[in-house]
Amino acid sequence: MPKITVLPHPQLCPEGKVLDNIPSGTSICDALLEHDIEIEHACEQSCACTTCHVLIRTGYDSLPEPTEQEEDLLDQAWGLEADSRLSCQAKLADHDVTIEIPKYTINHAREEH
């Protein structure tokens, strides 16, 4: 089973964390939440916002291709990069990934900068 290495984030995961033995097919968002990393997910993981945006630093190619809907939403994400994904849509395969949670998110319900 793959692992997710989470790079340090000042509020959500100051020390960084390694999440071991995550079942294939699990979304990155679900894995983070199950390990007490409270990433925002304002649309309840329905692929309707960008609050769960993450940067895939290693293992990007092991994830399923983003859908057109996900790509359209990512265009609105703060800090968009070539390796950006919505964590609610990025489901693990059988390879390890390293992610970075951006410092900011665009959340119209709760602006926190």
* pLDDT tens digits, one per residue of 38-69: 999 999 999 999 999 999 999 999 999 999 99
- According to DSSP, the residues that pair with 55 across neighbouring strands are 84, 100
pLDDT for residue 75? 93
Does the pLDDT value for residue 109 go beyond 70? Answer: no
pLDDT for residue 47? 94
- How is residue 48 annotated by DSSP? S
Q: Does domain 4-100 have CATH number 3.10.20.30?
A: yes
Domain boundaries, the chain: 4-100
- First and final CA of the chain: distance in angstroms? 36
Q: What is the value of pTM for the model shown?
A: 0.91
Does the pLDDT value for residue 107 go beyond 80? Answer: no
Q: What phi and psi values does residue 35 have, to the nearest 5 degrees?
A: -110, 25
Q: From CA 33, how far away is CA 70, in angstroms rounded?
A: 20
Q: Which residues are CB-contacts of 20 (< 8 A; sequence separation ≥ 6)?
A: 1, 3
Residues in the chain: 113
The mean pLDDT of 9-14, rounded to a whole number, is: 94
